[in-house]
Amino acid sequence: MSVLTIGELARLAGTTVRAVRHYTAEGLVEEPPRDASGYRRYGTQALITVSRIRRLRDLGLSLEQIRGLLGEKPRSLDDALSTLDDELAEQEQRISAQRKRIAELRASTQDPEIPGELGEMLRRLEAAGVDQQLLRREKEAVLLIIVTAPESVDRLTEAYRTLWSEPGHQVAMVEFSQSFQSLADEPEDSPEVERLVEKLLAGNPRLAEMAQGDPQESTGPMDALFLDYVDSFAPAQRRFMHVIAERVSRKEPR
């Protein structure tokens, strides 16, 4: 005789009404018919089944693994626990390796996203006082190049080496970062755009050319991705980047 409401069933089994409904929807618990009052009443077998599911879940078994233990030809619980133990052992190894890697990263200054020399040079920019917003954008641009144009990574690395070859370049980079960020508040046709272009190219012509590369070297999809990336900047900053790209690709004599 079915006498338990779903709430009573959940309480006696040590679980929740939501869990019982989920087990029922998954086909692990048979849904009983409604009584004359319109309520579903559960019986002893449902209580036993839900109690088993709750205890097996506490052991870490998935619902699919539990399903195999509840069928007409149930799988051995010992086999299921052995499989679970193997899975947990693999997870333990992965977690141990991950924690070791995290410990190594925390003990070093290595950037997990941009390792090696490029990551070190970006950290130098941060230490030098480059604006944090520009630093974030610089990192995004480096990641974009690594993913879409790996053949340009060596040239980019050399450009950063040039930057750090002279202290004056580092000071200029910090000043540029502040000026570039200020463009975010300027209208697109602001004369500050051209002034900043002239200042950057006049101070770092070789660096600018190395970073841009030869205009004949088309990067295919990279061109479209670069334009899409530039569109995420403020209007005046966007215009600055387009002007820089155009001027450097012409390699106008200074």
Spatial separation of the C-alpha atoms in residues 134 and 107, rounded to whole Å: 26
The pLDDT value given to residue 63: 92
Listed in sequence order, the residues at least 6 apart from 146 whose beta carbon sits closer than 8 Å to its beta carbon are 114, 118, 153
Residue reference for tokens 């900043």 = 196
| Distance in angstroms (rounded) separating the CA atoms of residues 162 and 21 | 65
- pLDDT given for residue 254 in this prediction: 40
Please list the pLDDT of the chain residue by residue as tens digits (254 residues): 568 999 999 999 999 999 999 999 999 999 888 888 888 899 999 999 999 999 999 999 999 999 989 877 778 888 888 988 998 899 999 999 999 988 887 787 777 778 778 888 888 878 878 778 878 888 888 888 888 878 878 877 887 777 677 777 777 777 888 888 889 899 999 999 998 888 877 766 554 454 444 444 544 555 677 778 888 889 999 898 888 777 655 544 44
| Amino acid identity for residue 167 in this structure | P
DSSP single-letter state for residue 15: S
